[in-house]
Structure 1
Amino acid sequence: MRRLIDGIQAVFKTERRQSVFFTLILFAVGWGLAATYSHSLFPISEPLFQSLAALVIGTFWVERLFTPPRDALANAFAGLVFALSLLRDPTYVPPLLTGLTIYFGIVLVSAAFASWRQRGDAPEPFGRAYDLTYAFAVSGGRASVVYSLAFLATLTPLANASDEYALASFLVFWVTTVSLPHFIRQLGRLLGQEPKQHVGLVTSATSPMNVEALIPKAEILSVGDLVGIEDTCRLCNHSHPLTCYGRVLNVLSDSQIPQGAQRAQIQIYGAWHTHGDCVRKKNPLGLFEVADVLGVGQRIVRFSDLQGLPDQVQELPVFARHDTSVGYVLDRSSVEKLRFAIYPHQVVRRGNVVGVTLPGTDLAPQPVYYQVLDVATSDEEPTRPPFAMQYASAVQIGTVEAGGRFRTYDLTPYVRTPVWLEQEIPQRDEVEASRSIGVLPGTNIPVNVDFNALVAYHTAILGTTGSGKTTLLRTLLPKVASQGIKVLVIDSHDEFKTHDGVDTRCVLTVRSPDVSEAFKAFVESPELKTLLTQVGSKESDLEAAQKEIQEYVKQTPFGYIKDVWTKRESLTTSGKDKAVKRILDEFTQGWYPRSYLVRKPIENEDTDCLSVLDQWYAQSGNWNRPILIMKLHNLSIDEQRWIVGLVAERLFGLALEGGLTQFIPETGDPRARLCLVVEEAHIFAPERGFSIGTDENARRYCEGELRNLMLQARKYGVGAIVASQRSAFIDKGVLSQCNTLFAMKTVSINDKRVFEDFMDSDWVRLVTYLGTPPESPQAILVGKAAASSMPLIIEYEVSFPGEAGQE
């Protein structure tokens, strides 16, 4: 059955094949009729068969070589000449001429009425009468119908009275076969669409792609309307009717034209033939190229919602999204960057997503998306219409694939291709929704993130104070944890509230340390006694140093760790003071952070910081939650650095014990198991030349452990997310390991220079204008975890609106 259907479609694909098919049928029927009359299987010498053969051959060749079927006068003349050549008895010439004259009169009256309606002057209900007469004129005026009528008059004398019924039946079958399908097709096409409405005339053409038109009635056309300009093809042998399709760019009033009329500027996309065949080449839009300038006086037809366009034209990519067109592509566009003009009265903003429908596989419409970088007014297009227009530049983000990713489409948009504003809602399944962190501005297109790549290849979240870094982290971290990745957050300023995700988070708050208590414990600790035995100074100096420290502790208790440093700086270079310095160094650099700070019981618990970390990693006890928030706001900067360094060292050690991680077969990426989130990364891994705090050893230790974790821990399933409000002050060695960046609102020139390592200057310039939560939470996303190989301006979700924007 499928092969039968394909065969039928192949036969009726073109009008030429239909003509051959019907010709063969009629030839076979004529052979059978002549054989019946002559009682012979080969009636070649019979006058009836000769007339039939002449009619069949003449119908086919005259139809093909003479004139197009819709020209009623030419077809009638050709049919008359051919019919007269078949006459065998001059007695029947006057009746034949009389009958053909009456028939021609009917055809010509129908054609005249159809022409009157085509000028747009016929009111309803004459519109439907026009459809009927037009279909009759173009069908009844065909050469094959005229030949059939002439053949009827020619063969009547040859038939006997007893054979008149059979002959009449054959002639009815003949006329029906050659004319009825065409008539039904024409009538169905006309009744299935709105009648054409001619709305104006072409007054001038500056190029094959740009024309000006006079619109007699004001407000009959508006910007963006789809129109057609009727013409005749000058390249085809058949002079097929040609329709040039385009769009109204602007409608203006002019003092030089009659009052109430308007002047319109129309951009031409291309042309299409009624028959669909032409020697012209097709442009990338799927239409025939328009190489010649349209003549003055050509009539303009307005199409409403594509009604009136042939089916083949409606399916072309150029008309796939005609209803939301906001502009057209300009020259000097490329695969990556799009330049387009914006129609007057259309609004396009920075960050909006626009699309261009390009030919895909088998010329199927393929939408390609771009994100607008800039909108400006320019006069650099002198050949454009003489009115102010806006121009925009956009960067390709690609075509939407399964899973929400964008794939770069390696095709440059054709000049004057319509550009439409994306406002549709793509379908999203539950898997995609769980990976979405927001949308592209002005749309509902989800922005999906590869959370495994986000962690495994490290991520930086950079922006000024109040730009929404913590707000974004509150959105990201529950989604990261939902992928089976454990998350440890270093919260140095108590920005993560305890009610954030109460079912998935546990909070560890390090108590404010008592340095005086710690030092007293250190003086009595076995570590100090071991140190005294290892120091090569005089025993008298060591004993004196120990007594001095004990006396100093009694008289002046250490309130903060910086008091210890103040005491150390006041010492001299004497033997006793050297010993004191050594003791103080051991306290600040070893015993205090490693034996006291991380081993001191945390708030509301009897366990210490590192023990909690071990239990949380092992998913045991009360700490069996995907997310652990470690609050360090009670500590000084130096103490925080020691804690972060020790935690990073411990996490790396735990990862090493777990062995090498597995790899994801689909991507080849290492599977992330643990994520360390470090807020205020410029404190814990500062760039050279920038330093806060007093303990240089704490700075070097913390920075070194973080860098070591980011350099080596990936293969063991450990990754990091660093966030900071001062991009320029973060260690470049740490930032260089981040394969994904969320660039948020940034004003400082020095901070914006960091972004140049991730994206080009056009995107860097935009970070100054990004929105902030809660009204407009925006960021530029670029890198391995992003859904596109190009940067994306995104509007991310706000998980806790009441606290959005709080840093």
Structure 2
Amino acid sequence: MLKNRFVVFGLFFAILMFLNYYFTQSLLPSPDTKNLWFYSGLFMMVFSILFIDPYYSSPKNVITNTIPLALTLIPIKDIFADTKIWWISFGVVITLLVAALISLVINDETKSENHVQNRLSVFLKNSVVLFGQGKVLYSLVFIASLLSYYSIQNDYTITLFFFWCGILLINPKSLTNTFSLTGKKLSTNAIGEVFSIQSKQVLLAKVFRDKTNVNKFDIVEFQYSTQDDHTVSIGFIFDTYFLNNEKWIKVLKLKNDIQQNADLNPNIIYKVSTQHNPHADLNIDKFVGVVVEGSNIENIRFEYSKQNENLEEGQLLVVAVGSKSIFYQVVEGITAIENLESKNESGFTCGEAIQLGEWQANQLSFIKYGWVPNINTPIFLAEQNFAINQYAYPEYQLGVIPGTNLPSVINLHDAVSHHMALIGVTGSGKSFLAREIINQLQTDTKVICIDFNNEFVTTLNPAPLPIINAATATQIATHIDWINNELDKFANQQDKPQIASRQENIKTLIKTEIDAFLDDQTSTIKVFELPDVSNTTGILDYTKYFFKVVFEVAKERLLAGNPVRICVAIEEAHTVIPEWNFAGSSDKTSQSLVNTISQIALQGRKYGVGFMIITQRTANVSKTILTQCNTVICFKAFDDTSFTFVGNHIGKELVKTLPRLKQYHAVVTGKAIKSNLPIIVDLKR
């Protein structure tokens, strides 16, 4: 556009010199005072129309024009043949100057726009900007000189008058696509010119002033000036902003087309008509943003720009790196401000996503990719439907990655043998998932539920029977009460042989019940209930005996060549394996029980015994046992202890998502999870 204005300015000089030579036989006007005044008015009018008026928007510009013009008029008053013309010219200039000053002085930003003072300021501003334009002021100089020094009957004067009229018809905004030194004419689809190339795929362009139909996600094409072939780059506008009263666009290149007769001016951006959808393969509707600074191998940051504002935490993104498709999962979104120039700022949204890696369909898992994508690499929302290979028990689908059918698969044998923890607040879905896993495990695993509140087991269908029948439980309770009463005596008064005998009886009674359950082909799940024991110490002793015998039975069967897989599901785990600070009054006995279960957690895997720990808060549960859980499924959580414990498994980025996880969404990780990486999973059924 600026080039075109210089072309018009040059044509003006050429025509003026031709007219002057035609009428006066001289290329340049004579240096008389009247000629200098006359031609300077004509020159300044053309210069103002082409290079000043397009940016004319403030009373300050009127002041800049009128002050030198007023100072110039004062000393030449006497040379005017008719002083009335001088007074009219001088009066107009002074009026515009005073009006511009008043509009600036009375403007009060502390008052509303509708206040009479500010309304008057706006009226004066609009008036002086309209009448104080260069083409108005310098036309006044031209006409005043014409009427004062030249005859209206003179052919040269009449010619210059019509020349002036023609100049007034120039519209600087229409000069955008008029001239080109290359001989090409810009098509009506040309919307802007490349200003800078920010990366291989992103460029910055300035929109032509006469283009108003430029919007985000418009498809565009362009050709670099450095390209000698006919390669045309295809992309779209992914961001727009205003700077210094000009519209700027960021263009993302997505592919190249080879067009033998591409009639495109280099470095000009052309809007592509989408009437016939010529570039449907661009997947603009799935575009999410571009990689920005601060990204690393583990997670990427991206500038968010999506056609439909529907991106959510946990959704799957894909980035093309060479021939590979690398997947990331959204974990965070933050707002930010970009400083453009001076005090200009542009707000935008920045997202964060953790790397899952390259999807391996045959393994139902992701393989980590060992590098970070280039800056400004485009990011897209992953497809919803993938081809999934078949799998069968002991592999089990926990759920899917949100927004897709990609499964999160767990190996239930590994989950049991290496222990598993389900953590989350009430109502988040942990007990529901535990029941589903238990139903699956009954295929080849004996399940023992420890639920002292009877809230969990009653929801199982059918409800499991007690692993120790009532009559046996009564006998065991009687023995425990007797032993505890005996131990309350002084050491020299205790019947130690009888204590040992009764302890063996307790173990025998429990072992008989456990063996019966393990040998029963019709029963795969039982519940361990507490008997009517006289005190808390007795309850803890009863529980400790039970866990010891379970471990011993599993060990004996393995050594005898008859191994069995046992899963002990502990609901409300803090009631069975509390942390020391929450053990209560029976501190020694609680520690003894926790030590017993800890020993099983450490060695149970060798003998087929594993735990499923279900708890609301990790703060209340023994860390000795929790740290042995190699598979963790964490639902919504709020306490710092859970964040610290789970953070060791899933990392600081995913920990931040725990308080805002949706119901039936969880972060899963660990040895038994096929993905090998922490991931947010939708567990809804």
TM-score bracket, normalised by the shorter chain, equals 0.5 to 0.7
Alignment partner of 1:470 is 2:470? no
Runs of 5+ unmatched residues, structure 1: 1-114, 122-197, 258-262, 277-293, 361-365, 529-560, 569-576, 600-607, 663-670, 799-807
Q: CA deviation at 1:341?
A: 0.8
Distance 1:522 1:767, change over 3 A: closer
2:193 aligns to what? 202
| 1:745 aligned counterpart, secondary structure | coil
2:402 aligns to what? 441
Q: CA deviation at 1:473?
A: 0.8
Alignment partner of 1:578 is 2:514? no
Distance 1:634 1:413, change over 3 A: farther
The whole-number CA distance in structure 2 between the counterparts of 1:521 and 1:274 is 88
Report 1:153-192 matches (<5 A): none
Q: Is 459-468 or 349-358 further displaced after alignment?
A: 459-468
Q: Which digits, 9 at most, give the CA deviation of each residue in 1:563-594, with x for residues without a partner?
A: x69x95xxxxxxxx6269736x999x878887
AA at the equivalent of 2:674: A
1:241 aligns to what? 230
Distance 1:328 1:203, change over 3 A: closer
Q: CA deviation at 1:375?
A: 0.3
Runs of 5+ unmatched residues, structure 2: 1-181
2:347 aligns to what? 388
Matching residue within 327, 337, 349 for 1:369: 327
Alignment partner of 1:357 is 2:357? no
AA at the equivalent of 1:367: S
The whole-number CA distance in structure 2 between the counterparts of 1:330 and 1:200 is 26
2:442 aligns to what? 481
Alignment partner of 1:625 is 2:523? yes
2:18 aligns to what? none
| 1:387 aligned counterpart, secondary structure | strand
Kept after mapping to 1: 8 A contact 2:417/2:605? yes
Report 1:473-552 matches (<5 A): 473-482=434-443, 484-498=444-458, 500-502=460-462, 506-508=465-467, 511=470
Alignment partner of 1:658 is 2:571? no
1:781 aligns to what? 668
AA at the equivalent of 1:735: L
Alignment partner of 1:613 is 2:519? no
Q: Which digits, 9 at most, give the CA deviation of each residue in 1:171-211, with x for residues without a partner?
A: xxxxxxxxxxxxxxxxxxxxxxxxxxx36232644646322
Identity %: 20
Kept after mapping to 2: 8 A contact 1:644/1:702? yes
Distance 1:509 1:300, change over 3 A: same
Q: CA deviation at 1:673?
A: 2.2
The whole-number CA distance in structure 2 between the counterparts of 1:303 and 1:400 is 33
The whole-number CA distance in structure 1 between the counterparts of 2:537 and 2:382 is 51
Distance 1:304 1:393, change over 3 A: farther
Alignment partner of 1:341 is 2:303? yes
Aligned residues: 492
Q: CA deviation at 1:760?
A: 2.5
Kept after mapping to 2: 8 A contact 1:355/1:419? yes
The whole-number CA distance in structure 2 between the counterparts of 1:251 and 1:212 is 10
Kept after mapping to 1: 8 A contact 2:238/2:252? no
Distance 1:522 1:254, change over 3 A: closer
Distance 1:431 1:296, change over 3 A: closer
Distance 1:307 1:505, change over 3 A: farther
Distance 1:738 1:266, change over 3 A: same
2:270 aligns to what? 299
The whole-number CA distance in structure 1 between the counterparts of 2:252 and 2:473 is 80
Q: CA deviation at 1:727?
A: 1.1
Alignment partner of 1:737 is 2:628? yes
Q: CA deviation at 1:395?
A: 0.6
Q: Which digits, 9 at most, give the CA deviation of each residue in 1:341-388, with x for residues without a partner?
A: 10165332222222212223xxxxx322211121001126759x9632
Q: CA deviation at 1:497?
A: 4.2
Q: CA deviation at 1:639?
A: 4.6
Kept after mapping to 2: 8 A contact 1:449/1:787? yes
The whole-number CA distance in structure 2 between the counterparts of 1:206 and 1:381 is 19
The whole-number CA distance in structure 2 between the counterparts of 1:323 and 1:792 is 25
Q: Which digits, 9 at most, give the CA deviation of each residue in 1:641-683, with x for residues without a partner?
A: 3343233222222222232799xxxxxxxx9822111223333
Matching residue within 579, 588, 594 for 1:696: 588
The whole-number CA distance in structure 1 between the counterparts of 2:610 and 2:381 is 38
1:415 aligns to what? 375
Q: CA deviation at 1:707?
A: 1.4
Matching residue within 357, 360, 381 for 1:398: 357
The whole-number CA distance in structure 2 between the counterparts of 1:342 and 1:518 is 65
Alignment partner of 1:268 is 2:268? no
Alignment partner of 1:452 is 2:413? yes
2:579 aligns to what? 687
The whole-number CA distance in structure 2 between the counterparts of 1:515 and 1:633 is 7
2:223 aligns to what? 230
Query: Which structure: greater strand fraction?
Result: 2
2:660 aligns to what? 769
AA at the equivalent of 1:212: A
The whole-number CA distance in structure 2 between the counterparts of 1:519 and 1:654 is 23
The whole-number CA distance in structure 1 between the counterparts of 2:637 and 2:574 is 15
Matching residue within 419, 423, 426 for 2:386: 426
Distance 1:387 1:700, change over 3 A: closer
Q: Which digits, 9 at most, give the CA deviation of each residue in 1:19-67, with x for residues without a partner?
A: xxxxxxxxxxxxxxxxxxxxxxxxxxxxxxxxxxxxxxxxxxxxxxxxx
Kept after mapping to 1: 8 A contact 2:232/2:259? no
Alignment partner of 1:331 is 2:293? yes
Q: Which digits, 9 at most, give the CA deviation of each residue in 1:725-776, with x for residues without a partner?
A: 23123323212221111223222223432223323323223322223xxxx2
Kept after mapping to 1: 8 A contact 2:422/2:632? yes
2:649 aligns to what? 758
CA RMSD of aligned residues (A): 4.3
The whole-number CA distance in structure 2 between the counterparts of 1:371 and 1:659 is 43
The whole-number CA distance in structure 2 between the counterparts of 1:519 and 1:505 is 25
Distance 1:475 1:522, change over 3 A: closer
The whole-number CA distance in structure 1 between the counterparts of 2:559 and 2:356 is 35
AA at the equivalent of 1:474: R
AA at the equivalent of 1:268: L
Q: CA deviation at 1:702?
A: 2.1
The whole-number CA distance in structure 2 between the counterparts of 1:520 and 1:629 is 21
Please report the TM-score for the alignment, with normalisation by the length of structure 2: 0.61
Please report the TM-score for the alignment, with normalisation by the length of structure 1: 0.53
The whole-number CA distance in structure 2 between the counterparts of 1:219 and 1:611 is 86
